[in-house]
């Protein structure tokens, strides 16, 4: 599905819109209706993130931890993420804004800039899958299955399984599973499954919702003179 879309897909999973599930029926139609009603409330979100990358062929897990933030702007969705390896060493810094993804590798001291170009609307939509997407938008882009209610991190969530209607995305990700806290409009957990059997699990905690995040948060502090590649 392309380098930019793959990178964007790596970081989706926070901020699905919704409202208090205690007063709604536990079925897909009700969940999507609640998303339609509350999507406009999403402004921004910041959270700690724990990532587990599983490689099936060698049955190996690679873990990272860090922070991430998303916000809705007049130009679309913006995202920033800072990850560290299991030992605490810097692993990756990413920033998506205005159809451009900046990826900084602090180990190799290399910055790579991916441009969405004419596909900006597609990639913004992919981010919105986890941030303020209405039920209509979600069901238009994905085949959605409601798999019941589960507790994640002590929070009651709605479990949704998504299969993309875009064949290119399905080539990279066979399906996604989200555990959504509808009372706070956020996803507590995301698993992305690849056709190879590999998967990526992201779990979120320490969540700050609609806290009017400062613009300085959505910048990367890259040392001057860092080599830059553009793709």
For residue range 169-184, what is the model confidence (pLDDT) as tens digits?
Answer: 888 899 999 888 777 7
24-47 b/e with 16+ CB inside 10 Å = b? Answer: beeebebbbbbbbebbeebbbbbb
Burial of 103 (0-12, 13-18, 19+ CB in 10 A): buried
Compare 40 and 164 and report the one with higher pLDDT.
Answer: 164
DSSP for residue 95: E
Which of 24-38, 105-119, 208-222 is predicted most confidently? 208-222
pTM over 0.75: yes
Enter the tokens of residue 162. Answer: 């998504």
Report pLDDT for 17: 43
Give the model's confidence band at 7: pLDDT under 50 very low, under 70 low, under 90 confident, else very high: low
């Amino acid at each position: 599905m392309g380098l930019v879309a793959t990178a964007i897909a790596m970081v989706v999973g926070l901020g699905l819109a919704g409202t208090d599930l205690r007063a709604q029926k536990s079925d897909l139609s009700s969940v999507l209706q609640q998303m339609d009603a509350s999507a406009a409330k999403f402004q921004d979100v910041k959270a700690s993130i724990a990532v587990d990358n599983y490689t099936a062929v060698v049955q190996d897990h690679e873990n990272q931890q860090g922070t991430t933030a998303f916000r809705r702007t007049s130009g679309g969705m913006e995202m920033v993420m800072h990850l560290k390896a299991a030992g605490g060493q810097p692993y990756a810094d990413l920033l998506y804004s205005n159809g451009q993804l900046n990826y900084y590798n602090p180990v190799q001291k290399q910055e790579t800039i991916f441009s969405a170009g004419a596909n900006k609307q597609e990639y913004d939509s992919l981010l919105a899958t986890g941030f303020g997407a209405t039920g209509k938008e979600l069901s238009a882009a994905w085949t959605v299955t409601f798999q019941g209610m589960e507790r994640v991190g002590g929070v009651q969530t709605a479990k949704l399984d998504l299969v993309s209607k875009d064949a290119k995305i399905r080539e990279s990700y066979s399906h996604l599973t989200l555990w959504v806290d509808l009372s706070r409009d956020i996803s507590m957990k995301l698993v992305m499954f690849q056709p190879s059997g590999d998967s990526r699990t992201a779990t979120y905690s320490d969540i700050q919702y609609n806290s009017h995040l400062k613009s300085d948060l959505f910048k990367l502090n890259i040392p001057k003179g860092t080599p830059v590649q553009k793709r």
